[in-house]
C-alpha cells in the first residue's frame, strides 16, 4: 500500500519566507525522506494516515511494517540533515513561531523515538490468534480492550502530547471511565521512553514524568520509573508541547479512534 503523506492538508500555512515554503515542498519530495517512512510525521500531521487507521488493524499494520523496515540509524541521520536545512531556510519562520515549521522541527527530532515506540512488538501471547495485533501500538489502538483504555495516547508523548485529563475535553469524546491499562506493552513502552528522557534534542522529561505518575497511580508504584534521566549538559533541547489549537485537533482525532 502507499505510505501516508505528511502535511497533506497543511501546506497552505502563511510562511514568513518564500524559501521556507519552497523547502517544505523540497524535503517532502526528497527521496531519502520518503524512503525512511517517518511515522513521526504522521501522528498529528496526516489526514491520509488517520484515514488508514480508520480502515482498521490490518491497514495500520501495513503502514507500521513499512516504517519499521528501514535502518533507523541511517534515517535519523537523514532527518538530522534535513532538520539542519530547515533551521537554515526557515530561520525567520521559526523565530516567529510559524506552527508548521515548529511541528516539522519537532518531528525530525523525534523520529527515532517514535520509530522505536511504534515498532515495539506485542509479546503477549496469552489467548493470541493469527489476527492479534503484532505491535504494541496496534494493540493500543485495536486490541480487544482498546475501546476501554487510553493506551493510544502514550504514543503521542514523543511528539509533545501529554496524557489527557478526562475533564480536558467533552465527556462524549473522552469518557471519565477511560483509563490506561497496566499491560506489559505499556510497561515496556514507558521503559523505552524513560531511556529517551534525556534525549539530546527532544525534551520529553516533564511529559514522561507526568505519564509515569499517572501509570503508577493506575498500576502500582513500581510500574514505571518516576524519575526521568538527568541531562549531562544544557543541550538546548526543544520542548515539544503542542500549540493549543493543534492539541484540540489531536484530541478529537484520537478520541474518535479510541471510541470507534
Picking from 82, 109, 136, the residue at the C-terminal end of a domain is: 109
Please name which of 53, 70, 71 lies closest in space to residue 62, comparing C-alpha atoms: 53
Number of structural domains (the chain) is 2
CA distance 248 to 185: 27
Q: Establish if 93 belongs to a structural domain.
A: yes
Q: Are residues 218 and 163 in the same domain?
A: yes
* The model's pTM: 0.85
Q: What is the pLDDT of residues 157-203, one digit of tens each?
A: 999 888 765 434 443 444 445 678 899 999 999 999 999 988 766 66
Q: What is the pLDDT of residues 53-110, one digit of tens each?
A: 999 999 999 999 999 999 999 999 999 999 999 999 999 999 999 989 999 999 999 9
Q: Are residues 143 and 222 in the same domain?
A: yes
CB 255 within 8 A of CB 174: yes
Q: Are residues 125 and 219 in the same domain?
A: yes
The helix (H) or strand (E) run that includes residue 50 is helix 47-54
Rounded to 5°, the CA angle 188-193-195 comes to 100
The percent of residues above 90 in pLDDT, for the chain, comes to 57
pLDDT: is 231 or 191 the higher one?
A: 191
Q: Are residues 201 and 158 in the same domain?
A: yes
Q: Are residues 127 and 105 in the same domain?
A: no
CB 209 within 8 A of CB 225: no
Q: Are residues 169 and 131 in the same domain?
A: yes
The helix (H) or strand (E) run that includes residue 239 is strand 238-239
Q: Are residues 99 and 146 in the same domain?
A: no
Range of the domain at 154: 120-231
Amino acid at each position: 500500500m502507499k505510505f501516508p503523506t505528511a502535511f497533506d492538508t497543511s501546506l497552505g500555512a502563511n510562511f514568513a519566507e518564500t524559501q521556507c515554503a519552497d523547502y517544505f515542498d523540497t524535503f517532502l519530495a526528497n527521496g531519502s525522506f520518503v524512503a525512511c517512512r517517518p511515522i513521526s510525521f504522521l501522528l498529528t500531521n496526516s489526514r491520509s494516515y488517520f484515514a488508514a487507521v480508520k480502515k482498521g488493524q490490518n491497514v495500520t499494520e501495513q503502514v507500521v511494517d513499512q516504517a519499521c523496515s528501514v535502518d533507523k540509524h541511517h534515517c535519523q541521520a537523514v532527518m538530522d540533515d534535513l532538520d539542519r536545512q530547515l533551521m537554515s531556510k526557515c530561520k525567520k519562520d521559526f523565530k516567529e513561531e510559524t506552527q508548521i515549521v515548529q511541528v516539522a522541527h519537532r518531528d525530525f527530532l523525534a523520529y527515532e523515538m517514535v520509530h522505536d515506540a511504534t515498532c515495539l512488538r506485542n509479546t503477549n501471547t496469552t489467548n493470541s490468534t493469527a489476527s492479534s495485533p503484532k505491535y504494541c501500538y496496534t494493540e493500543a489502538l485495536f486490541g480487544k480492550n482498546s475501546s476501554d483504555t487510553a493506551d493510544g495516547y502514550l504514543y503521542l508523548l514523543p511528539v509533545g502530547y501529554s496524557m489527557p485529563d478526562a475533564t480536558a475535553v467533552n465527556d462524549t469524546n473522552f469518557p471519565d471511565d477511560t483509563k490506561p491499562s497496566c499491560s506489559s506493552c505499556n510497561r515496556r513502552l514507558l521503559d523505552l521512553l524513560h531511556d529517551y528522557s534525556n534525549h539530546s534534542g527532544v525534551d520529553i522529561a516533564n511529559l514522561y514524568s507526568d505519564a509515569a505518575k499517572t501509570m503508577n497511580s493506575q498500576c502500582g508504584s513500581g510500574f514505571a520509573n518516576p524519575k526521568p534521566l538527568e541531562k549531562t549538559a544544557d543541550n538546548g533541547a526543544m520542548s515539544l508541547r503542542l500549540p493549543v489549537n493543534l492539541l484540540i485537533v489531536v484530541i478529537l482525532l484520537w478520541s474518535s479512534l479510541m471510541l470507534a
